[in-house]
Amino acid sequence: MEKTKITLDENDIPRQWYNISADMPTPLRPPLNPKTLKPITPDELSAIFPMSIIEQEVSTQRWIDIPEEIINIYTLWRPSPLYRAHRLERALSTPSKIYYKYEGVSPAGSHKTNTSIAQAYYNKQAGIKRIATETGAGQWGSALALAGSFFGLDITVYMVKVSFNQKPYRRIQMESWGAKVIPSPSDTTNSGRAILQKDPDNNGSLGIAISEAIEVAATNKDTNYSLGSVLNHVLLHQTVIGLECKKQLELVNDYPDVVIGCCGGGSNLGGVSFPFLYDKINGKALRVIAVEPESCPTLTKGEFRYDFGDTAGLTPLLMLHTLGHDFIPPAIHAGGLRYHADAPQVCQLVQDGLIEARAYGQLSVFEAALLFAKTEGIIPAPESSHAIRCAIDEALISKEEGKAKTILFNLSGHGNLDMMAYASYLEGKIKDYEYPDGLIKESLSKLPVIS
Amino acid sequence: MEKTKITLDENDIPRQWYNISADMPTPLRPPLNPKTLKPITPDELSAIFPMSIIEQEVSTQRWIDIPEEIINIYTLWRPSPLYRAHRLERALSTPSKIYYKYEGVSPAGSHKTNTSIAQAYYNKQAGIKRIATETGAGQWGSALALAGSFFGLDITVYMVKVSFNQKPYRRIQMESWGAKVIPSPSDTTNSGRAILQKDPDNNGSLGIAISEAIEVAATNKDTNYSLGSVLNHVLLHQTVIGLECKKQLELVNDYPDVVIGCCGGGSNLGGVSFPFLYDKINGKALRVIAVEPESCPTLTKGEFRYDFGDTAGLTPLLMLHTLGHDFIPPAIHAGGLRYHADAPQVCQLVQDGLIEARAYGQLSVFEAALLFAKTEGIIPAPESSHAIRCAIDEALISKEEGKAKTILFNLSGHGNLDMMAYASYLEGKIKDYEYPDGLIKESLSKLPVIS
């Protein structure tokens, strides 16, 4: 029997998250209050986040304990399996070894539950009754809906209207866990009403949905806001992925030459790679690759500067790679990667040369996804398929070079609820996107200059 | 930390299937040729099945080796986890322990892959190039599509037309793995054409789809037929479920008082329970419960007699509990339980008092499913939710009686692709079905009498 699945016992679930802020060669630039351009204080954030989360956000402590209550829920799907992709390797005739960590085993189907459970826990501890959030593709909304059901918290999800209408399966999944799902823009908030008054048929955007959720959190004392990516505490919670990978690879006496994750906001990439970057910062030879869609090329074509985290400009200014906060990427099937910027931690590490970035078009990504489905069985989420494309390319390069490598990528979620994207591909309806000349440059030129 | 998930290493995957035909107190009555009423010979079956499968079908050898090639693929999801349902227990305030085996971790999302992989393997060994099959709800078709992709076999799935139109996600899933999916009735077979000539708008039925698939297999030398339940070899392949459960419960020093599975054709019930029934036959105290829908009450209201396995009357006559082979159960959301009969092995064991049968209405089943989703996280398949309903009831009875029990049920699949069923329930559109008086009696009265 060939060793395919490297499993750990639930006693092997990490007891601490790894905080890369403790080890970054260049410390993070602070988030700024957009009015004063001074660093945001914890107090300013406390209207929408519990203090324990704010402390994690600014912490430079290397290891942060995971509360027992969170571990008890993690046991439902963690430790997640690490697979050796024997069949994919054979299909590629590569001398390299390909491993993938599979986060789709969580009940909501992606890595997002690693942080939704933690965020729900800390909010519950702080006496909060309700969490408001936004969702585009639906992965984050469903992860938070699940977390809410475990902790008895009401969850209100503002779902981008076009997704609400096109993705009924995601909506019903959230409702099955007891969440309230509201198509955004809605008449439940001032920001929603303002948009509907101007344009009653507005289909919504992630930016608008964020505005609605933040407004609800800021104006209701018992309600907080929750974000599924980008922020330091979110990436922190995801490091259980990489910590488990290290333990699993040790069991087979292996260590990766390359670690790969797709990158939308950056949370699954951070989760799988930060524990390995700790080794790299300490001298280990290792590459980390962030993979993004050509249609939203934040790390490969964006600028590293201060910008808003949302489209409407309600958040603090963050130092990150951005295409401009009102840049609207084309509608691609990897909805979770359609974000105008990336996590500040990921961006600073790219800036410092510790993470490489690469972009792929949709066609080559779906081609890779189907090869993976037919060899490894799992139909991957379109987002995760970007990491598969890159892993396959790395394996093919190693074949040309005649050098065997050990490649690790994070399969952040399954594609069971993304079947319409596969239908589009199988029917030949998916095309690669080419930017009109100067579009990104124009969007960036609108940003205020902050030195 | 409370012990939630009992995991096994891939080295713990069973190396042999358990064949209950070796131990049944009353031997199975043989399948009969409907024309001669004499027992079917292996040769008569060889037009549509490989000889290795036929041998398993008639074998009375207790243990049958699992080939290494099948184990290598099983490692992609096996051993599947066994969970202790702590949160569900607390929600019920029951003194009992509830365990569930989770088969939804397979890439196709249900236990069906345990046999589809085996059947594809044996057909490949026999030089077969293509397998034809039918699917209603889609679980079986997708499991065989996946197996075909692993062994390089062409898979043709006749999908009941109403499902083909209503369940695009399932169809696309099968196509993503490379299968050809044809809405049935179709113009690709004589039986399909005959029906379309009479009724061009015919929406199809499982019976018609079986006829089309068998016709294709019988008339093409390189094509065989494959069935996802009912037959002995199918239930044999599923016994990996129960064998793993025994090992997992041993690890926590436990043993079930009750073993529960939903029952459509009987394969997941057989899979989880037969290894325990071996103990029961040898004197161990233990109950096994088969749970079926009130709308298709084969074991609770059917008759034990010879009948056809399909609607059109193309199969051998099998000794089983039946509602009559042309009985059309109402359209319920647990499509995988809409079968007019049950596996001969299960029926004989019910007849001998070794398995109990119980029926539930849809409303109480969905109520149980949502309680499970909100406490244990996983949104269950509507079929599997019948087992959940029964496990909850057993836990509640034990609370009334003040007696702690150990309850084990099989969660045969997830409900990620059944969201429309949940939407119907959440919108109050699901009703329990009440039979018109005498409907089942009338259907049974049409059957030929065979002594």
Asked if the model's pLDDT at residue B34 lies above 70, the reply is yes
Cβ-Cβ contacts under 8 Å, A426 against chain B: 172, 175-176
Nearest to A378 among B10, B107, B169 (CB): B107
CB < 8 Å to A1, chain B: 10-11, 68, 71-72, 75
Which DSSP state fits B352?
T
Residues whose CB falls within 8 Å of the CB of residue A357, separated by 6 or more in sequence, listed in order:
A263, A289, A290, A291, A292, A299, A300, A350
The predicted pLDDT at position A304 comes to 97
pLDDT band at A435 (very low <50, low <70, confident <90, very high): confident
The predicted pLDDT at position A379 comes to 98
How many CB atoms lie under 10 A from the CB of residue B254? 15
User: A168 and B109: CB-CB below 8 Å?
Assistant: no
Task: Give the mean pLDDT of B76-96.
Answer: 97
All residues of chain B having their beta carbon less than 8 Å from the beta carbon of residue A150 are 87, 377
Phi first, then psi: give them for residue A84, nearest 5 degrees.
-95, 125
- Could you tell me the CA-to-CA distances from A278 to A241, A370, B171 in Å, in that order? 14, 33, 44
CB-closest option in A107, A168, A423 to B378: A107
Contact B109 A11 (CB under 8 A): no
Q: How far is A225 from chain B (nearest CA, A)?
A: 22
- List, as ranges, residues 133-172 from A with C-beta within 8 Å of B: 146, 149-150, 168-169, 172
User: Residues B306-322: pLDDT tens digits?
Assistant: 999 887 788 899 999 99
Task: Identify the closest residue of chain A to B11 by CA–CA distance.
Answer: A1
- CB B79, CB B67: distance < 8 Å: no
What does the H/E/C string look like for chain A?
A: CCCCEECCCHHHCCCEEECHHHCCCCCCCCCECCCCCCECCHHHHCCCCCHHHHHHHHCCCCEEECCHHHHHHHCCCCCCCEEECHHHHHHHCCCCEEEEEEHHHCCCCECCHHHHHHHHHHHHHCCCCEEEEEECCCHHHHHHHHHHHHHCCEEEEEEEHHHHHHCHHHHHHHHHCCCEEEEECCCCCHHHHHHHHHCCCCCCCHHHHHHHHHHHHHHCCCEEECCCCCCHHHHHHHCHHHHHHHHHHHHCCCCCCEEEEECCCCHHHHHHHHHHHHHHHCCCCCEEEEEEECCCCHHHHCEEEEEECCCCCCCCEEEEEECCCCCCCCCCCCHHHCCCECCHHHHHHHHCCCCEEEEECHHHHHHHHHHHHHHHCCCECHHHHHHHHHHHHHHHHHHHHCCCCEEEEEECEECCCCHHHHHHHHCCCCCCCCCCCCHHHHHHHCCCCCC
pLDDT at A64: 98
Q: How many CB pairs under 8 A join A and B?
A: 138
**Contact between chains at B75 and A417 (C-beta distance less than 8 A):** no
- The pLDDT of residue B451 is 64
Q: Is the pLDDT of residue B340 over 70?
A: yes
What residues in B contact A172, CB-CB < 8 Å? 419-420, 422-423, 426
Beta-bridge partner residues of A303: A322
pLDDT digits (tens, 9 = 90+) for B211-266: 899 999 999 999 999 999 999 999 999 999 999 999 999 999 999 999 999 999 99
Strands A82-84 and B5-6: unpaired
Query: A275 is written with which tokens?
Result: 């524990």
Rounded percentage of chain B residues whose pLDDT exceeds 70: 100
Residue B157, H or E segment: strand B154-160
Q: For A411-431, what is each residue's pLDDT tens digit?
A: 999 999 999 999 999 999 998
Task: Provide, as residue numbers in chain B, all residues whose Cβ is less than 8 Å from the Cβ of A77.
Answer: 377
**Interface contact B377-A76, CB threshold 8 A:** yes
- Check whether the bond before B448 is cis (ω within 30° of 0): no
Beta carbons of A75 and B378 less than 8 Å apart: no
Q: How far apart are CA A324 and CA A327, in angstroms?
A: 5
| Average pLDDT taken over every residue of chain A | 95
Please identify, in words, the CATH class of the domain defined by B5-9+67-109+233-444. Answer: alpha beta
Are A353 and A378 in contact by the 8 Å Cβ rule? The answer is no
3-state class percentages of chain B: helix first, strand second, coil last, to nearest 5: 45, 20, 40
- Cross-strand bridge partners of residue A341: A322
d(CA A162, CA A155): 20
Surface of B (373-392) touching A: CB under 8 A:
373-379
Q: Tell me the mean pLDDT in the region A61-70.
A: 98
In this model, does residue B207 exceed pLDDT 90? no
Question: Nearest residue of B to residue A379 by CA position?
Answer: B107
Residue of chain A whose alpha carbon sits nearest to that of B1: A72
Residues 71-110 of A with CB under 8 A from B: 71-72, 75-77, 83, 87, 105-109
The percentage of chain B sitting over the pLDDT mark of 90, rounded to a whole number, equals 86
Mean pLDDT of A144-159: 98
Nearest CA-CA distance, residue A392 and chain B, Å: 19
Is the pLDDT at A338 greater than 90? The verdict is: no
Work out the average pLDDT over A200-225: 91
- What local confidence, expressed as pLDDT, does residue B185 receive? 94
Cis peptide before A185 (omega within 30 of 0): yes
3-state secondary structure of B301: helix
Interchain pair A169, B168: CB under 8 A: no
Contact A176 B373 (CB under 8 A): yes
Sort out which chain A residues have CB atoms less than 8 A from B9's CB and list them: 7
Number of H helices, E strands in chain B: 19, 15
Contact between A354 and A20 (Cβ < 8 Å): no
Between positions 310 and 369 of B, the ones with CB within 8 A of A are none
Q: Spell out a b/e string for B334-355, using b for 16 or more CB atoms within 10 Å of the CB, else e.
A: bbbbbbbbbbbbbbbbbeeebb
Chain A contact set for B375 (CB, 8 A) = 149
Chain A residue with the nearest C-alpha to that of B169: A419
The mean per-residue pLDDT over the stretch B138-146 comes to 97
The verdict on a CB contact (< 8 Å) between A416 and B379 is no
Report chain B residues whose CB lies below 8 A from the CB of A168: 419-420, 423
Place of tokens 């393997």: B121
Partner residue opposite B178 with nearest CB, options A68, A374, A378: A374
Find out whether A322 and A444 touch, Cβ atoms under 8 Å.
yes
**Cβ neighbours of B219 (radius 10 Å):** 11
Which residues of chain B does A71 touch, with a Cβ-Cβ cutoff of 8 Å? 1
Measured CA to CA, the distance from residue A227 to residue A158 in angstroms comes to 12
**Inter-chain touch B379–A76, beta carbons under 8 Å:** no
Any idea what DSSP says for residue B339? -
Q: Which residues of B touch A376 (CB under 8 A)?
A: 76, 107
For residue B367, give the chain A residue with the closest CA.
A176
CB of A11 within 8 Å of any CB in chain B? Answer: yes
Q: Pick the residue of A103, A177, A374 with the most B CBs within 10 A to test the interface with B by mutation.
A: A374
What number is the ipTM of this complex? 0.95
Whether B174 contacts B151, CB under 8 Å: no
| For range A86-115, the mean pLDDT | 98
Q: What DSSP string describes B194-259? A: HHHHH-TT----HHHHHHHHHHHHHH-TTEEE--SSSSHHHHHHHTHHHHHHHHHHHHTT---SEE
User: How far apart are the C-alpha atoms of A120 and A126, rounded to whole Å?
Assistant: 10
Q: Find, in chain B, the residue whose alpha carbon is nearest to that of A103.
A: B105
| Domain boundary assignment for chain B | 5-9+67-109+233-444
Binary contact (B149, A419; C-beta < 8 A): no
Length of chain B, in residues: 451
Instruction: Please report the pLDDT score of residue A451 as a whole number.
Output: 65
Mean pLDDT of chain B: 95
How many degrees, rounded to 5, is the angle at CA B244 between CA B300 and CA B412? 45
Q: Residue A84: closest CA among chain B residues belongs to which residue? A: B76
